[in-house]
Amino acid sequence: MKQHIRELLEEALPLVDIDSDFLFSELDSLGVTTILMILSKEYDIVLEAEDATPKNLKTLDAIVAMVTHKIADRK
């Protein structure tokens, strides 16, 4: 899943270092919105503005954890 998310985000946000330890600081509001929309559609989960926290978007691992948690909550 991590590699798939990396590929999705690298394609959508080519100027952002997806492997940054401070990914959230590299994102503007459009970047955050793009991430939420892509992952919501790809994994059929509901990601809202409340999910766009520095903790959830700090690193690629944090994003994967957020998606995994949302998928688990869906069931």
- Tell me how crowded residue 59 is: count the other CB atoms within 10 A of its CB: 17
pLDDT of residue 69: 96
Domain with residues 2-74, CATH architecture: Orthogonal Bundle (1.10)
- Tell me how crowded residue 66 is: count the other CB atoms within 10 A of its CB: 21
Taking the domains of the chain in order of start, what are their residue ranges?
2-74
Could you give the percent of the chain with pLDDT greater than 70?
Answer: 99
pLDDT band (50, 70, 90) for residue 17:
very high
Mean pLDDT of 40-66: 96
- Tell me how crowded residue 53 is: count the other CB atoms within 10 A of its CB: 13
pLDDT band (50, 70, 90) for residue 4:
very high
CA torsion sign, 27 to 63 to 48 to 43?
positive
Mean pLDDT of 24-45: 96
